[in-house]
Amino acid sequence: MKNVRVRFAPSPTGPLHIGGVRTALYNFLFARKHSGSMVLRIEDTDQKRFVHGAEDYILKSLKWCGIEFDEGVHKGGEFGPYRQSERKEIYQKYAEQLIKQGAAYYAFDTPAELESLRKKLEEEKASNTSYCAASRGSMKNSLNMTADEVQLKISEGEAYVVRFKMPEDELVNFTDIIRGDVSVNTATLDDKVLFKSDGMPTYHLANIVDDHLMEISHVIRGEEWLPSLPLHILLYRAFDWDAPQFAHMPLTLKPDGKGKLSKRDGARLGFPVFPLEWKDPNSGEIYAGYLESGYFPEAFINILAFLGWNPGTEKEIFSMDELIEEFSLERVGKAGSRFDPEKAKWYNHQYLQARDMNEIVPLFQEILKQKNIAASDDFVAKVVEMVKDRADFVKDLWDQSFFFFNQPEEYDAQMVKKRWKENSPQVLGSLQIELDKLEAYSVEIIEITIKNFLEQNQLGMGQVMTPLRLALVGSGMGPGVMDIMALLGKDEVNKRIENVLNRIKR
Ligand code: GLU
């Protein structure tokens, strides 16, 4: 394979959604796998859609999840500048070249004239209702004017656009790495605008000029760009440049598979659609982020990797290095990939279980600190070890373990009603006397003590364990009662048994 150079080319028109991060990820994996270069280019030619803060957000998001670049707007490099608004002069030159060659032309039509063309073609039920080979002959463009007329209009400052002169009836054939062979007749395509008199190129011209000048070898991007590909291929041809290879990735779909995943789906269905929280600078609306929702960046990457790609084996947990090793565009599917919020949580759960305790403890200590709880790292680590299999996120740990840090203030009414029997106070009181005699307070010793107690008093497990759990936790939840006891220690267990005996009167 020739020197691999790929690019991620977002437009700063808003925050990067998970589909966009996935595009960046697949480019990154492909570049690393083939020891190539990864370029970050900002495509900000559409000034009307520019959103303040979006570029910064994109950079922060990619950094958070570990997608790195070799060159780009934030790093520099020998193919810069990497922000299209800083490359305006370059595009102008190429637009003029196409005009000279006869592959493009100036068009002076006003918005009202364009609108009436559209209406007319619709009424006529024309097969192509846009500005195209069939209609350009009747419009106000340089193809229908003398060179002097054109020059006069331009020098008088009349607004114009440069349009691509789409061949009338030609088959454009190309091969996409993911979609295979595609063939499109140019009769269905329109004369796309390439450049405007405000000095700005449109996406199509800037995109292919830059991909060429930046020596991009593979264009890996979302399926929504596939319809633009015939035009891009024809532009490469007009310039007599070799086109890069293309791979158009499947859409990311809503959880029910009905339509493209949108930014509104997150709030509606209760999962984040953006890597980091995003505050819309215009509406003030806040959209949840994976970071803020408690996802580990590694889990997030793993989720995105499987959104369209699979390794062809049962293995589901992949580190970034493993992904680089295994990734191939050939294993990216054609069909849209449905986003599964439950599976996303499952991934984070797996990463939480595997996480080093030295990393989890400080994260959980932060949560405890906010609650004014001081506990030793050693104690916190033991608590985490005991409850983490019930948690998907670090923040879930509290809900699973609060009773280790706070004595119960009240007792689950339902459970008291059903399970706190007449003899419970007496049973618990006698057991406490036995437990209080213990010197070592380990799970094994507690277990033997309780077993003996049950036997001697001819009691069933539930008659003791349920009131005991109520005393310790306040409800029916939590890990094994004896594990809780051993960790809380004798004094604390005694206190909690006394509390329950004093408080539940029936
Ligand atoms: N600026 C385009 C976007 O934001 C890039 C498309 C491409 O990769 O060619 O989607």
The pLDDT of residue 15 is 95
Query: Which two structure tokens, joined as six digits, stand for 12?
Result: 């700063």
Domain for residue 308, yes or no? Answer: no
Q: Could you give the CA distance from residue 399 to residue 294 in angstroms, rounded to a whole number? A: 14
Q: Are strands 245-249 and 180-185 parallel, antiparallel or unpaired?
A: unpaired
Q: Which residues contact 328 (CB under 8 A, 6 or more apart)?
A: 33
Per-residue confidence (pLDDT) for residue 502, from 0 to 100: 95
Q: How far apart are CA 213 and CA 82, in angstroms?
A: 11
The verdict on residue 295 lying in a domain is no
Instruction: Answer whether 217 contacts ligand 1 (Cβ < 6 A).
Output: no
Q: In terms of DSSP bridges, do strands 337-338 and 286-287 run parallel, antiparallel, or are they unpaired? A: unpaired
Which of these, 215, 272, 179, lies nearest to 3 by C-alpha position? 215
Cα(9) to ligand 1 centroid in Å equals 5
Residues tagged active-site: 263
Among protein residues, the one whose CA lies closest to atom 2 of ligand 1: 10
Instruction: Report the domain count for the chain.
Output: 4
Per-residue pLDDT of the chain (506 residues; tens, 9 = 90+): 679 999 999 999 999 999 999 999 999 999 999 999 999 999 999 888 899 999 999 999 999 999 999 999 999 999 999 999 999 999 999 999 999 999 999 999 999 999 999 999 999 999 888 999 999 999 999 999 999 999 999 999 999 999 999 999 999 999 999 999 999 999 999 999 999 988 899 999 999 999 999 999 999 999 999 999 999 999 999 999 999 999 999 999 999 999 999 988 988 889 999 999 999 998 999 999 999 999 999 999 999 999 999 999 999 999 999 999 999 999 999 999 999 999 999 999 999 999 999 999 999 999 999 999 999 999 999 999 999 999 999 999 999 999 999 999 999 999 999 999 999 999 999 999 999 999 999 999 999 999 999 999 999 999 999 999 999 999 999 999 999 999 999 999 999 999 999 999 76
**What is the Cα–Cα distance from 295 to 275, expressed in whole angstroms?**
9
Residue type, 67: I
What the block records as the tokens of 317 is 């947990």
Residue 163 near residue 194, CB atoms below 8 Å: yes
Token readout for 230 is 């015939």
Domain boundary pick from 186, 209, 232: 209
Q: Verify that 196 and 96 share a domain, yes or no.
A: yes
Measured in Å, residue 403 CA sits from the centre of ligand 1 at: 51
Does 132 share its domain with 165?
Answer: yes
Tell me if residue 288 falls in helix, strand or coil.
Answer: coil
Q: Which of 209, 241, 266 is the last residue of a domain?
A: 209
Position 131 in a domain: yes
- Give yes or no for residue 46 CB within 6 A of ligand 1: no
Tell me the CA–centroid distance for residue 10 and ligand 1, in Å: 5
Tokens 């929280």 — which residue? 277
Which residue CA neighbors atom 5 of ligand 1 most closely? 9
**Residue 94 Cα, ligand 1 centroid: separation in angstroms?**
20
Contact 222, 214 (CB under 8 A): no
Rounded Cα gap, residues 31 and 52, in angstroms: 30
Domain assignment of residue 293, yes or no: no
Question: C-alpha distances in angstroms, 363 versus 355, 356, 369, 371?
Answer: 12, 11, 10, 13
Q: Is the minimum distance from the CB of 207 to ligand 1 under 6 angstroms?
A: yes
How far from 201 is each of 89, 96, 151, 254, 272, CA to CA, in Å? 10, 12, 20, 33, 34
For residue 240, give the nearest of 94, 132, 89 by alpha carbon: 94
- 479 within 8 A of 387, measured Cβ to Cβ: yes
Strands 71-72 and 37-40: parallel
- Please name every residue paired with 37 in a beta bridge, in sequence order, or none if there are none: 5
Q: CB of 206 closer than 6 A to ligand 1? A: no
CB of 171 closer than 8 Å to CB of 184: yes
**Whether 470 and 496 share a structural domain:** yes
**Lookup: tokens for 99:** 């005009």
Q: What CATH code is carried by the domain that includes residue 108? A: 3.90.800.10
For residues 149 and 128, membership in a common domain is answered with yes
CATH code at 222?
A: 3.40.50.620
Range of the domain at 14: 5-73+214-250
Cα three-residue angle 185-186-190, rounded to 5 degrees:
140
For residue 425, give both structure tokens: 């106070």
Q: Is the CB of 226 under 6 A from ligand 1?
A: no
Neighbours of 492 (CB within 10 A): 15
Same domain, 136 and 237: no
For residue 46, tell me if it sits in a domain.
yes
Q: What is the full DSSP assignment across 72-99?
A: ETTTB-TT---BGGG-HHHHHHHHHHHH
Contact in structure between 67 and 324 (CB atoms under 8 Å):
no
Residue 332 near residue 178 (C-beta atoms within 8 A)? yes
Domain boundary among the residues 250, 277, 311 is at 250
Q: Same structural domain for residues 391 and 445?
A: no
* Per-residue tokens: 23: 């595009």
203 in the same domain as 221 = no
